[in-house]
Structure 1
Amino acid sequence: MSTDWLMLIAIPLVASAVGYVTNWVAIWMLFHPHTEKRLFGLKIPFTPGLIPARRLEIAERLGVAIAKHLVTEESVAARLESCEVRAKIEEIIANYLDDFLTKDLGPLHDLIPSHVKELAYEKVEELMPLLLERFSAVLEDERLKKLIKIEVYEALDRLLTDTLHEESLFGQLKSTLIETFVMSNMDEIKQKVDRTVDEAGQQLGVLLQRAEVRARVYRSLIDAVDELLTHPVGQLRHHIPEEYVSHGRTWATKQVLEILKRETPRMLQALDIQKLVRGKVNEMPIAEVERLILAITSRQLKAITWFGALLGFLIGLIQVALVLGRGGL
């Protein structure tokens, strides 16, 4: 093969290599060098690379693009409406709820702050006079008196009936005594019951005015409060029906979604996506920015590089065709 033919073959190959290297260098110069370079005190052109030199502008524009076109109120609201997000929120709420309901809470004494317990004792002491007054007033109520009398009468009747039906000798003796001394005075007994019940409220009111009685009542109330506080609560799941738990989980999910949708504008405003993206991009080392961009565009950049090789090869073929057309060989 003659030297001329070797040169014609070399032309498209060299042109292809030039196209490849040119595009590769152009892409490399987008990211490199990372810093400004100087020679004899003079700045070397095209340093730093395009992306490092315009990093602040790129970060600003990227933040604007994401804030205005990607992470918007509409896009966030639409995402919150999706079944996937709803299911995830319900799962999170269910996990927290299950953890809370299955936790052994111990006694109320451990759950209530000490100042709340002291406040409860103070309220008992403060409200005790009112409670005693109300209690005395309740005993003076005519309807309650009537109910008490009826209960006493029925209890007395049951006692007499049971005694009169005893078949033993001693039972028959008691029956005779009851018929002799009790049944004949039944009207008088009922009058005494009525009088005792009628006077009970007044007598109790007088009794409750005594300091020692009030002290005993107060002590009893405090003991009742202490007993309540020392009673173990255990797991709330044992005290709450599963139906209520299920409804509570559904209700909580709905409330969380409504709050998130309602507060989305303010949350996005507080987050300031544009500022967040701009700050994160500016904080990243330029090498990390390069890796990030290459991870997204590596296939396209490689295609551009090889396209340069193809274009150079085609240009080389055109040159060969022109040479052959002129009869250069």
Structure 2
Amino acid sequence: MEVFIVIIIMVFVGALIGGVTNSLAIKMLFRPYRPYYLGTWRVPFTPGLIPKRRTELADQLGKLVVNHLLTAEGLQKKLENNLFLNEMAQWVQKELRNLLKSETSLANVIENWTGVESPKQEVQLKLTSWIRKKVEVMLEELRPLPLNNVIPQKINDKVDAYIPELAGIFIEKAKGYFSSSEGIESLSNMVDRFLMGRGALGNMVSMFLGNERLVDKLQPEIIKMLNDEGTQQLIEVFLKKEWEQVKRLRIGDIEECLNLNEVSLYIQEKIIDHIPLDHLDKPLYEWSPMIEKPLVEEIVPRMIEKIGRAISNELVHLLKKLQLEDVVKNQVEQFSVSRLEDMVLSISRRELKLITYLGALLGGLIGLFQGIFIIFLR
């Protein structure tokens, strides 16, 4: 009986020592949180292992995250995964549809997202300024060039083809004018001025022929001249020569006769007037149906794919600029030791208890073997 009690005591003491030492070792991973001193002498094992090595732990965790967890290769595979891209596109499409069916206006969306006040006026100013700059740059480039280099070839060909028709129109208008009473009166006045300028000769012609008879003789001849094919050919040659001279003019020379700045301002005003800026103040659901289908079903998927590809191509440089290793390190260093302890215990509390129980079991077994060994020695 005495032998049995000794063995029980030895087992109990061994189990107690094993369990307590393992539990103490686990707690010493975190505790004490700070060093303790007796005078200038620091008490051994203070602070605990993790508080003492927190800087090294933070550094290693940062390297672990960057080198093994959030790697560029892993993120690139995720960004290029079709299932992930489809899920992102579906999410964006859903959110965009909800937005387009809402009562908010595009102006409110711009103001909320960018902080720009009075978006309509701001957009109008930006557009006006952009168009003005583009026109100024274009005019500076065009001024030294001849008109022939600026006019599109199709327009040039159309003008050349239109010249014979224009000559015919000119002749028909002239014939109609000189056949009218207004034209005959104008021709009569011209004859009067001509004869008055010739002095005695004019008076003599006027006296012998009479003004009325001379006009009557001239008007049919003028009509006959206008009906002649050579007249139209002559006018065509004249118009072609003038058109060629016009095409050789520089834009700068034309600007001296025609204020191109005023023309550009007029064009700018017309462009701005035809841009539907009023839609900015209307609720989205009123006008968005016209753009919803192409925007949601066509543009969004292509945009998501291009954004994913662009991020994937620049991911290595992006991760370097983000400096995730330093971010993780700084975050871990800012954790309190008690928070680190709670995080570790919340994950491995059961396993740590098993380690304590294992220490008690091993201590008990050692006590059992010690008790048996002592009995045999006796």
TM range (shorter): 0.5 to 0.7
**1:92-146 deviations in Å (ceiling 9; x for gaps):** 442565467556447x95462415325647959x98xx99x98xx8898365689
Tell me which amino acid in the other structure corresponds to 2:360: A
Structure 1, unmatched stretches of 5+, are: 149-193
Asked if the contact 1:93/1:252 (under 8 Å) is kept, the reply is: no
Alignment of 1:129-148 (within 5 A): 141=159, 143=161
Aligned to 2:191: none
Tell me which amino acid in the other structure corresponds to 1:259: A
Tell me which amino acid in the other structure corresponds to 1:71: L
Measure, in 2, the Cα distance between the counterparts of 1:219 and 1:31: 76
Tell me which amino acid in the other structure corresponds to 1:16: A
CA apart distance, 1:233: 3.6
Structure 1 residue 91 corresponds to structure 2 residue 90: yes
Aligned to 1:161: none
Asked if the contact 1:73/1:264 (under 8 Å) is kept, the reply is: yes
Structure 1 residue 232 corresponds to structure 2 residue 278: yes
Asked if the contact 2:100/2:288 (under 8 Å) is kept, the reply is: yes
**Alignment match of 2:305 (pick from 246, 254, 262):** 254
**Alignment match of 2:293 (pick from 233, 242, 245):** 242
Asked if the contact 1:15/1:315 (under 8 Å) is kept, the reply is: yes
Aligned to 2:346: 295
CA apart distance, 1:315: 1.1
- TM-score, length-scaled by structure 1: 0.64
Measure, in 1, the Cα distance between the counterparts of 2:353 and 2:299: 56
Measure, in 1, the Cα distance between the counterparts of 2:65 and 2:57: 12
CA apart distance, 1:73: 1.8
Tell me which amino acid in the other structure corresponds to 2:159: D
Measure, in 2, the Cα distance between the counterparts of 1:139 and 1:44: 101
Tell me which amino acid in the other structure corresponds to 1:53: K
Measure, in 2, the Cα distance between the counterparts of 1:300 and 1:114: 67
Asked if the contact 2:16/2:363 (under 8 Å) is kept, the reply is: yes
Tell me which amino acid in the other structure corresponds to 2:84: V
CA apart distance, 1:254: 1.4
CA apart distance, 1:15: 1.4
**Alignment match of 2:369 (pick from 297, 305, 318):** 318
Secondary structure of residue in 1 paired with 2:28: helix
Asked if the contact 2:14/2:363 (under 8 Å) is kept, the reply is: yes
Asked if the contact 2:79/2:309 (under 8 Å) is kept, the reply is: no
CA apart distance, 1:35: 0.8
CA apart distance, 1:11: 2.0
Asked if the contact 1:138/1:144 (under 8 Å) is kept, the reply is: no
**Quick one: percent identity of the two aligned structures?**
25
Measure, in 1, the Cα distance between the counterparts of 2:332 and 2:361: 35
Structure 1 residue 50 corresponds to structure 2 residue 53: no
Tell me which amino acid in the other structure corresponds to 1:116: L
**Alignment match of 2:125 (pick from 105, 114, 122):** 114
Measure, in 1, the Cα distance between the counterparts of 2:308 and 2:272: 41
Measure, in 2, the Cα distance between the counterparts of 1:96 and 1:145: 60
Describe the shift of the 1:227–1:265 C-alpha distance in structure 2 as closer, same or farther (beyond 3 A).
closer
CA apart distance, 1:253: 1.8
Measure, in 2, the Cα distance between the counterparts of 1:58 and 1:4: 51
**1:202-228 deviations in Å (ceiling 9; x for gaps):** 9xx9xxx9x9xx9x9999767744642
Aligned to 1:64: 63
CA apart distance, 1:325: 3.5
Describe the shift of the 1:310–1:243 C-alpha distance in structure 2 as closer, same or farther (beyond 3 A).
same
Alignment of 1:1-329 (within 5 A): 5-95=4-94, 97-98=96-97, 104-105=105-106, 110=121, 112-117=123-128, 120=131, 123=135, 141=159, 143=161, 224-225=270-271, 227-229=273-275, 232-233=278-279, 235=284, 237-240=288-291, 242-243=293-294, 245-326=296-377
CA apart distance, 1:24: 0.4
* 4+ residue runs over 6 A deviation: 137-140, 145-148, 216-220
CA apart distance, 1:48: 0.8
Describe the shift of the 1:111–1:238 C-alpha distance in structure 2 as closer, same or farther (beyond 3 A).
farther
Asked if the contact 2:100/2:292 (under 8 Å) is kept, the reply is: no
Asked if the contact 2:80/2:309 (under 8 Å) is kept, the reply is: no
Asked if the contact 1:109/1:230 (under 8 Å) is kept, the reply is: no
In the alignment of these two chains, the number of paired residues is 278
Asked if the contact 1:15/1:312 (under 8 Å) is kept, the reply is: yes
